[in-house]
Amino acid sequence: MDKKKNISMAVIKRLPKYHRYLQELLRNDVDRISSKELGEKIGFTASQIRQDLNCFGDFGQQGYGYNVKDLYNQISIILGLNKEYKGVILGAGNIGQAIANYSRFVQVGLDIVAIFDANPKLVGMRIRDIEIQDIDNLRSYLKENSVDIGIICVPRINAQKVSDLLVENGVTGIWNFAPVDLVVPEDVTVENVHLSESLLTLIYLLNDKEESKEESK
């Protein structure tokens, strides 16, 4: 694949969306689609779609459009979904348990291999056949097992400490659900899910629309 360098974060963030829409088209037995039709579905312009996909290679054919299955497979490979990723969950509270139980992630190659928590009441319990281990075992676990992704679901005050431990032991991918911005070395990738910030954005926009409505009365 002729993948170009320096692809903007904006394009990268749109790739999973393409992946999702193409999956939907496949489910509905759609064989091919034009950039215009795909754009209408996703809410992008046809030219944006062509530009985005051109960053990654030469897809589509003038007058024919895209072969849905091919494009889906190519984007899956670009996203790295043709491999498997070993993930450990740190913190077996609400979010940690939800992630552990969410079967959808298995489809994209995330294999949860261990779950850790500091709460003795949770240690020993099982989620989907995985026994929750004492977080004190994390260091030795990481020394003995190769882990790609650490999923941080511990409380805010412990998140950086847990992140440091992961990084020291060679974990280079962190999916962070704790409401902090982690400090990590450059070769480590952090993707944040800040639920509270998402909720705050919703509340802001909700009020903003209400105010506009009041004013236009």
Site for a second copy in 25-64 (CB under 8 A): 42-43
Pick the binder of a second copy from 67, 130, 165, 179 (CB under 8 A). 179
Residue 173 annotated as binding?
A: no
Measured distance CA(137)–CA(148) in Å, rounded: 17
Site for a second copy in 73-92 (CB under 8 A): 78-81, 83, 85
Pick the binder of a second copy from 4, 20, 139, 161 (CB under 8 A). 20
Nearest CA-CA partner of 125 in 146, 106, 144, 97: 97
First to last CA, the chain: 56
Please calculate the CA angle 90-88-112 and round it to the nearest 5 degrees: 130
Q: How far is the CB of 87 from a second copy (least distance, A)?
A: 9
Q: Which is nearer to a second copy, 140 or 155 (CB)?
A: 155
- Listed ranges 31-39, 116-124, 158-166, 179-187: which one lies at the site for a second copy (CB under 8 A): 179-187
Does 125 engage in binding with a second copy (CB under 8 A)?
Answer: no
67: phi then psi, degrees, rounded to nearest 5: -80, 115
Coil/strand/helix, residue 65: strand
Residues 6+ apart with CB under 8 A from 157: none
Does 185 engage in binding with a second copy (CB under 8 A)?
Answer: no
Residue 95 annotated as binding?
A: yes
Residue 91 annotated as binding?
A: yes
- Listed ranges 16-24, 30-38, 45-53, 61-69: which one lies at the site for a second copy (CB under 8 A): 16-24
Q: Which is nearer to a second copy, 136 or 206 (CB)?
A: 206
Q: Give the type of residue at 1.
A: M
Identify the helix (H) or strand (E) that includes residue 112.
strand 110-117
What burial letters (b/e) apply to 33-58, b meaning 16+ CB within 10 Å? bebebbbeebebeeeebbebbebbee
Q: Which is nearer to a second copy, 140 or 201 (CB)?
A: 201
Nearest CA-CA partner of 156 in 95, 87, 88, 98: 95
Does 214 engage in binding with a second copy (CB under 8 A)?
Answer: no
Site of interaction with a second copy (CB under 8 A): 12-13, 15-17, 19-20, 42-43, 78-81, 83, 85, 94-95, 97-99, 101-102, 104-105, 108-110, 148-149, 172-173, 175, 179, 181, 187, 189, 191, 193-207, 209-210, 213
